[in-house]
Amino acid sequence: MGGRPAQQWSDGGAARVADWLDAAAALPPASVDLVYADPPFSTGKARTGPAGRYADTWPSLSGYLAWLRERVAATIPAIRPTGSILLHVDWRTSHRVRVLLDDLLGPDRFVNHLVWSYGLGGSSPRRFARKHDDILFYCIDPGRYWFDPPRVPATSNRLRGLKKKATDVLDIPSINNMAAERTGYPTQKPLALLDVLVRACCPPGGVVLDPCCGSGTALVAAAAAGRVPVGCDMNPRAVELARRRLLLATAHAGSIP
């Protein structure tokens, strides 16, 4: 898979404290197979958990989109021609982020609008309960991008016990309060989700970059699946957690700890 950007990061770690923008500028061109970015969603409030906190307030939607555009644009040169980007957002911005990605990459680079259906959470008497996030999947070259369709257990009686190719709706529960993988970092994503995404969109041995790594879920999934994890986060507490989880993941390579 060629260059391994993780080795070129100044402090030698696969996860480091940095702004996504600076981290992107430090990456060699065409060195990353998959970018998975799970930025703040512009919820308008700080996200807090027992193991950390991050700010999620922008003066306006256009301010948020400008922030995101600058970082995605700086990252694109680091993606290989066979590579892809998965941008994880939600109902607040997905319609605008899709347009942003169309602008930066071209509408013909759109591959999927994945729906992560997670189940948990409250409901409202005034609308349908919001129970999914949006993951926008774009490639660099429609004729060359790497993809290995994930397989999930079939649910129909006819195929019971067999597997079928996953659809663009990924039914994966969010992390429950008792889950062993729970770190206490706010908005931590489940390893089962990242395992599917990493295996589907990054070749074995390839490089996965998560520029807003938080507690390191994508990095851990990458390491466990035999991919090379590279990540950063502005929050030192997040990077500390990610590094700790990565140490465990590399000790158990091949299985999700």
Ligand X SMILES: C[S@@+](CC[C@H](N)C(=O)[O-])C[C@H]1O[C@@H](n2cnc3c(N)ncnc32)[C@H](O)[C@@H]1O
* Residue ranges in contact with ligand X by CB under 6 A: 19-20, 38-40, 54, 185, 187-189, 211-212, 214-215, 217, 232-235, 238
**Minimum distance between the CB of residue 19 and ligand X, rounded to whole angstroms?**
4
**Minimum distance between the CB of residue 70 and ligand X, rounded to whole angstroms?**
10
Helix boundaries (H) for the chain: 20-26, 61-75, 94-105, 191-201, 217-224, 236-251
Nearer to ligand X, 202 or 232 (CB): 232
**Minimum distance between the CB of residue 233 and ligand X, rounded to whole angstroms?**
4
Nearer to ligand X, 93 or 187 (CB): 187
208 close to 229: Cβ distance less than 8 angstroms: yes
Nearer to ligand X, 72 or 238 (CB): 238
Quote the distance between the C-alpha of residue 161 and its chain's center. Answer: 30
Range list of β-strands (E), 141-225: 151-153, 163-165, 169-171, 207-210
**Minimum distance between the CB of residue 182 and ligand X, rounded to whole angstroms?**
10
Tally of CB atoms within 10 A around 211: 29
Distance CA 202, CA 30 (A): 14
Helix boundaries (H) for 32-91: 61-75
Nearer to ligand X, 105 or 135 (CB): 135
Q: φ, ψ for residue 182 (rounded to 5)? A: -65, 125
Nearer to ligand X, 82 or 217 (CB): 217
**Minimum distance between the CB of residue 210 and ligand X, rounded to whole angstroms?**
7
**Minimum distance between the CB of residue 163 and ligand X, rounded to whole angstroms?**
26
Gyration radius (Cα) of the chain, Å: 17
Distance CA 38, CA 26 (A): 20
Nearer to ligand X, 36 or 145 (CB): 36
Nearer to ligand X, 9 or 54 (CB): 54
**Minimum distance between the CB of residue 96 and ligand X, rounded to whole angstroms?**
17
Provide the β-strand partners of residue 231.
15, 210
Distance CA 243, CA 110 (A): 32
Give the length of the chain. Answer: 257
Which residue's CB atom is positioned nearest to ligand X? 214
Sign of CA dihedral 113, 210, 201, 142: positive
